[in-house]
Amino acid sequence: MPVYDRGYTHWESSDEQAWPAWWVIARRGITQPLKSRWILFLIIGSWVPALVKAVILYFSLQAGDILDVLTGGWTSIDAEGFLAFMEGQRFPVFALLAITGAGLIATDRQDNGLSLYFSRPLGLKSYVAGKGLIIMFYYFLVTLFPTFALCLFSFFIAPEAGAKDLLLLIPLKATVFCFLTGTSLSLILLAFSALGKRTIFVMVWWTILITGTEAMHLIVKNLGKNNLEVVNFLGNYHNAGASLFSADARLGVSPWASLFVVLLLTVAAIVVLYKRIRPVEVVS
């Protein structure tokens, strides 16, 4: 079969602006897991607590118990109640982030994909930003987005509770809290992923970090060692955010102590990412 030489073809611009590299990485990483039926089931299951809270709120308000939903508990519609709701989403956060984020860098290291990434005009910051946005999206999916939905639903069924709080202040506080928490969790999980080449090992490390520190927290709490409750990894984020939501401390330590731990872990994660992910220069 003959081969025909088509010759040189001049490049023609399509007048379409290329997407930033970080967005291309994030978009693929976000859409790929959504093709899995099990991921969709997990996401739907993570919204069940929001549905349960909405039903409780509806029947409570229909019964005229407006004071019962302003008490700061899990079913409350004040700022502390929404912090308690996001605090109750620990398991969906742990499970969904482990599945979608553990292999983001580990797989690239195992398949020698970093050399392929950085042979293009892609910097370290864009690479980490793209990978981090994937984790942040799924974190928002089970914390911030249900909170927005509950705020809107609460305003529709209880407008007397205040549009300023339900439509502005609480969503704004939740956005700030979830953005800062999501950024920190993304960097820490990416650091774990950068330390290994097998996704399963990264998931084990992440499980130990979440469930292990939770178990240690329960032990020291039962022993009356309140100062040691700072070992609770996820608990530190909610404890640090308590001041933002004008809520009581979630641990037996100061919110400032929890904030210091969170900042320390985040800085350590940044150092690990800087050391473990090295762009490769291609010399022609």
**Domains of the chain: which residue ranges?**
21-276
Of 102, 91, 176, the C-alpha closest to 142 is 91
Question: What is the reported pLDDT for 117?
Answer: 82
Average pLDDT of each block of 10 consecutive residues along the chain (284 residues)?
56 65 92 93 95 87 63 78 92 95 91 80 88 97 96 86 86 96 97 93 94 91 84 95 91 94 97 84 44
The answer to whether 149 touches 230, Cβ cutoff 8 Å, is no
Each as own residue / partner, the long-range contacts of residues 261-264 (CB below 8 Å, 24 or more positions apart, any chain) are: 261/230, 261/236, 262/184, 262/236, 262/237
C-alpha to C-alpha distance for 7 and 224, rounded to whole angstroms:
80
C-alpha to C-alpha distance for 100 and 118, rounded to whole angstroms:
22
> What Cα–Cα distance (Å) separates residue 149 from each residue in 5, 168, 206, 255?
60, 13, 29, 27
3-class secondary structure, 2 = coil
The answer to whether 143 touches 89, Cβ cutoff 8 Å, is yes
Question: What is the reported pLDDT for 137?
Answer: 97
The answer to whether 77 touches 57, Cβ cutoff 8 Å, is yes
Count the neighbouring beta carbons within 10 Å of the beta carbon of residue 259: 17
Question: What is the reported pLDDT for 284?
Answer: 43
Question: What is the reported pLDDT for 61?
Answer: 74
At 25, the amino acid letter reads I
Question: What is the reported pLDDT for 244?
Answer: 93
